[in-house]
Amino acid sequence: MNPALYNPPPLLVTLLIKLGVIASLASIIARFGQFRRLLFEEQRSPRQKLVFAAFLGVPFMLGVLTRLLAHYEGIDLSLEMTVVAGLLGGTIVGLVVGMMVSLPAVLIGHEILAAPLAVLWAVAAGSARWVCPDKEEVWKFSPFIDLSLYRSIKRRFQHPAMDWQVLFFLICVILEITNMTFGHMAHGRLFYLDAPQWWGKALIVLGTVIGVGLPVRIWNNTRIERKLEEQERLLMQARVDALISQINPHFLFNTLNTVSSLVRFDPDTARTVVLKLSNILRRRLKTQVHFVPFKQELDFIDDYLDIEVVRFGKDKLRVRKNIEPDTLDLVVPSMILQPLVENAIRHGIGPKIDGGTITLGSHRQNGRLVVQVIDDGLGFPDVRRPEGLDSGIGIRNVRERLKALYGEDFGFTITSPPGKGTVIRLEIPEVAAPEKAAPIEATTVER
């Protein structure tokens, strides 16, 4: 095919269109979730390499086909994308992409040198990636070569060492000059852009370098965003794990003291308390489970309350449940109720001489799960209400976990008239568990 020698549109316009096309296609490809995951992987399996090559090869193969059918040179980005594939994916990915983008040129345009040159581009770029010890250097390659090269060369003069950015830049320059050289000698058997003046040739080479650097920079931004998301997810998980792992040492000490006293006159009850305490501690250690069916959460609360009933006595601590059966299969945060129940026992029921009753309730309302922890204890006196309702490890723990898990999509309110007990209302979005929990026989239980 004859080279483009300033025929309309002008060479500068053609180069600008090439850069616009490669930037647009790179941005579109970056929207695919699977492609973003592949960018995040430096070591890819053979299947992942083929999928990665398909993402790069198919759209730019269509660009070559459009150039052949529409006779417009600005759509052909075969050299740039083959080099990008070799730098980011290695020699194998570069070869697959090179064969894909050269296929229409060989079959339709009869440009028989397109395939051998594509092999050269892929091997050169893939070898540069292979010899580079730190693969992150590849992602630092920037289309803004003037500033990056100036800083790089200045730094290397001060601290002599191999500069990979200069190497990648030289590879792009050499490959484009090689392409133009072979195009001159091939007489229509290889597509290439050309210009009669030296500065026109320099613009073409510059356009190739920028064409390689643009998708690398765009996809590197995608990698950085994904890394930040992953770090944020890990940070939130660590935060939730830390909140879940909190345990009140007073509860543990009091329970052990209760066991030691029971061993003397009621060993069977002591054994039961130890088994229930072991269940609680085992659940505390399973911090990786952040969501459980509501039925499982109630089973955990049963173990906790059984221990507290033994400690306080059945006459002083009474427990009631008003649980709607259709809420048992809904998903709730793991161990979200225990701090609320502990707070009700410690601050509401514990100080009362005659004890009191704790009521657990649940129902569904407008697509949300509503859970209530109610006690008929002392409530909060007026002088302690501002700090009492919002302080304490239990309440703060629950608030922080809900905010970490649901953002602002949750409700948490505390109503506590002085001397009339406390009502804690928890409201979260409805999410069904994969397997429904077994129904209970009655909706109201008193123990």
* pLDDT for position 267: 85
Full DSSP string of 49-94:
HHHHHHHHHHHHHHHHHHHHHH--GGG--HHHHHHHHHHHH-HHHH
**Which tokens hold the place of 424?**
């804690």
Domain membership flag for residue 2: no
Taking the chain (447 residues) in consecutive chunks of 10 residues, what is each chunk's mean pLDDT? 49 88 92 88 88 93 90 87 92 93 90 91 91 84 61 54 75 91 85 86 90 90 82 68 59 77 82 84 65 87 85 84 91 84 83 86 92 85 49 71 83 83 90 50 40
Specify the pLDDT at position 249: 62
Q: In terms of domains, do 138 and 258 share one?
A: no
- Let me know the angle formed at the C-alpha of 188 by 70 and 64, rounded to the nearest 5 degrees: 35
**Amino acid 82: pLDDT:** 93
Q: Name the packing angle between helices 78-89 and 46-70 (round to 10°).
A: 170
Domain that holds residue 297: 245-446
Q: Enumerate residues 6+ apart whose C-beta is below 8 A from 260.
A: none
Q: State the pLDDT at residue 236.
A: 66
199, 257: one domain: no
In a domain, 106, yes or no: yes
Answer whether residue 141 is part of any domain. Answer: yes
274 and 310 Cβ atoms separated by less than 8 Å: no
Q: What is the pLDDT of residue 324?
A: 92
Domain holding 393: CATH number? 3.30.565.10
Same domain, 228 and 343: no
Domain boundary among 219, 239, 259: 239
Domain end residue (candidates: 239, 258, 279): 239
Whether residue 249 sits in one domain with residue 152: no
Q: Are residues 163 and 81 in the same domain?
A: yes
Q: Could you say which of 210, 239, 268 is where a domain stops?
A: 239
> Tokens 């709730």 label which residue?
332
pTM confidence score: 0.59
- Indicate the number of domains in the chain: 2
**For residue range 90-132, what is the model confidence (pLDDT) as tens digits?**
999 999 999 999 999 999 988 899 999 999 999 999 998 898 8
Q: Examine the domain organization and report whether 313 and 346 are in the same domain.
A: yes
Tokens 């061993």 found at: 263
Domain match, 309 and 205 both: no
pLDDT at residue number 148: 53
Cβ pair 330, 297 in contact under 8 A? no
Residue whose tokens read 């994916």: 89
pLDDT tens figures, 358-413: 999 999 998 899 999 999 887 765 544 444 455 556 677 788 878 878 888 899 98
Residue of 91, 67, 87, 88 lying closest to 18 (CA atoms) = 67
| pLDDT of 392 | 55
Q: Are 264 and 305 in a shared domain?
A: yes
Q: 179 and 70 share a domain?
A: yes
